[in-house]
């Protein structure tokens, strides 16, 4: 230890020798002091500060740090970088909580002083320093919840002013906000408003930042702040004083749709927004909610409105299928058939359209005996056509297979065909009902 101490002294004397040989009257040293002697002492103190930290002589280092901040606080960024390193070491070695708190506060104070003197630095200025301070605050003073929120808000605001907000910083801030809501420190409205305001920072993220969006969304989902009950409480109060506010209505509908709300309040808000700003997307969303609530006529009304303004063929195809299903639900078989046929015209491989169309034809069968049972030949073929096209809808595919077998078991018997002079494999034209005029092939049960 004595040998190590001697080597350190020799190194510091060597540094002092080099420094002493310099001319400190030169104007480039002016930032280190008013006189050549002050400048020399402060430059030496800067060198010794780093050396003493490296040698774990933290009390000695602290003296040099105090000298530099008192005499030449704007001389060098290294004063603060080394000072923060010094206090982190002292924090880690603190023997009691009181001392640790003092060291933490001293370290954070150094960030403020560095910001004061080097906040305009092009790379390590205000944005850099406030982000670093926020992260340090969370690490060392996480129990000060108001303080954590404040420093992160300052960091994000600085990034906004600079024109580039880091989604990782926002995700960390929002997670802590959600934690505070879970602990009843802040209210649901704060979470909802912050989520709405911060969502823009997670659009079009590069691949290496997409995890930040996942964390952001997960924090919101797990917080419970966006429950239908909370959202209804929040927006019912806000809309009571400004019921036609389009911004509020948009926010309410977007958040309540995401939460899959289907209350009467949600429908009232969504319909009010639709009247102000009718769009195909809004109408289709309303149709879904009314359908889920069993109000099929109202759902049909909105999906038809959506179809009237939609230009995308893929979306129109889905809308025709929904119109078909809704008409089936209210026993308007012919209307359902027309809609499902329109979907197949847009895409002949639409398995859902074919699946429901087969059922419509069975529902619309008429007559007796062979005239009625002949529909199962045609419906069976349609169902067999639908099965491979229903791969992305496994439940419907399973139902299609089951129905196909039922239709096959309902084929006319060989005797019925014989008495009606029908031979297996011959062509048969459906005589009446929804499928009248369609041709099919005679098969025995």
Contact 83, 76 (CB under 8 A): no
How high is the pLDDT of residue 247? 84
How high is the pLDDT of residue 19? 54
H helices of 141-245, in order, are 145-162, 167-182, 188-198, 210-223, 228-241
Tokens of 101: 């708190």
From residue 370, give the alpha-carbon distance in Å to each of 109, 324, 384: 93, 28, 22
Residue whose structure tokens are 């039922």: 406
From residue 55, give the alpha-carbon distance in Å to each of 5, 95, 255, 329, 443: 9, 20, 57, 82, 96
Please list the pLDDT of the chain residue by residue as tens digits (445 residues): 444 454 454 444 444 444 555 888 899 999 999 999 999 999 999 999 999 999 999 999 999 999 999 999 999 999 999 999 999 999 999 999 999 999 999 999 999 999 999 999 999 999 999 999 999 999 999 999 999 999 999 999 999 999 999 999 999 999 999 999 999 999 998 998 898 889 889 988 888 888 999 899 889 888 988 889 888 988 888 899 899 998 888 888 888 887 888 889 999 999 999 999 888 888 888 888 898 889 999 999 999 998 988 889 999 999 999 999 999 999 999 999 999 999 999 999 999 999 999 999 999 999 899 999 999 999 999 999 999 999 999 999 999 999 999 999 999 999 999 999 999 999 999 999 999 999 999 999 8
Q: Which of 89, 91, 85, 93 is nearest to 110 (CA)?
A: 85
How high is the pLDDT of residue 10? 43
Contacts of 269 (CB under 8 A, 6+ apart): 235, 239, 249, 252, 253, 256
How high is the pLDDT of residue 21? 53
Distance of alpha carbon 407 from alpha carbon 437, whole angstroms: 20
Q: What is the pTM of this model?
A: 0.63
Tokens of 419: 């008495």
Residue whose structure tokens are 């409105």: 305
| 3-state SS class at 38 | helix
For 46-86, the DSSP string reads HHHHHHHHHTT-HHHHHHHHHHHHHH-TTS-HHHHHHHHHH
């Amino acid at each position: 230890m004595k040998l190590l101490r001697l080597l350190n002294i020799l190194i510091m004397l060597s540094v002092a020798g080099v420094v002493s040989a310099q001319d400190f009257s030169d104007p480039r040293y002016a930032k280190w002091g008013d006189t050549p002697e002050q400048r020399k002492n402060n430059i030496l103190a800067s060198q010794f500060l780093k050396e003493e930290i490296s040698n774990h002589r933290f009390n000695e280092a602290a003296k040099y740090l105090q000298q530099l901040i008192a005499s030449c606080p704007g001389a060098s960024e290294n004063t603060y970088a080394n000072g923060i390193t010094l206090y982190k070491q002292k924090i880690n070695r603190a023997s009691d909580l009181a001392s640790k708190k003092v060291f933490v506060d001293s370290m954070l104070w150094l960030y403020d002083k560095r910001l004061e003197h080097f906040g305009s630095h092009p790379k390590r200025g205000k944005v850099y320093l406030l982000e670093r301070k926020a992260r340090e605050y969370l690490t060392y003073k996480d129990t000060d919840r108001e303080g954590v929120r404040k420093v992160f808000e300052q960091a994000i605001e600085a990034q906004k002013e600079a024109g580039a907000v880091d989604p990782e910083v926002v995700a960390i801030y929002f997670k802590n906000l959600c934690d505070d809501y879970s602990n009843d420190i802040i209210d649901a409205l704060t979470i909802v408003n912050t989520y709405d305001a911060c969502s823009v920072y997670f659009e079009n993220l590069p691949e290496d930042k997409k995890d930040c969006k996942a964390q952001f969304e997960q924090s919101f989902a797990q917080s419970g702040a966006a429950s239908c009950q909370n959202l209804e409480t929040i927006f019912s109060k806000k809309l009571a004083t400004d019921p036609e506010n389009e911004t509020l209505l948009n926010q309410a509908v977007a958040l309540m749709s995401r939460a899959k709300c289907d209350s009467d309040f949600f429908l009232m808000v969504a319909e009010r927004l639709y009247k102000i700003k009718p769009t195909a997307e809004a109408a289709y969303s309303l149709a879904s909610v009314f359908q889920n609530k069993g109000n099929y006529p109202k759902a049909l009304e909105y999906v038809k409105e959506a179809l009237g303004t939609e230009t995308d063929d893929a979306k129109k195809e889905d809308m025709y299928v929904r119109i078909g299903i809704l008409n089936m639900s209210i026993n308007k078989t012919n209307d359902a058939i027309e809609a499902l046929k329109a979907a197949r015209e847009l895409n002949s491989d639409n398995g859902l359209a074919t699946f429901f169309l087969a059922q419509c034809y069975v529902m619309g069968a008429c007559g007796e005996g062979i005239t009625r049972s002949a529909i199962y030949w045609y419906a069976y073929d349609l169902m067999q056509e639908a099965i491979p096209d229903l791969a992305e809808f496994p439940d419907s595919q399973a139902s299609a297979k089951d129905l196909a077998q039922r239709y096959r078991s309902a084929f006319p018997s060989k005797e019925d065909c014989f008495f009606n002079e029908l031979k297996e494999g011959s062509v048969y034209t459906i005589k009446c009902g929804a499928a009248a005029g369609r041709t099919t092939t005679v098969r025995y049960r």
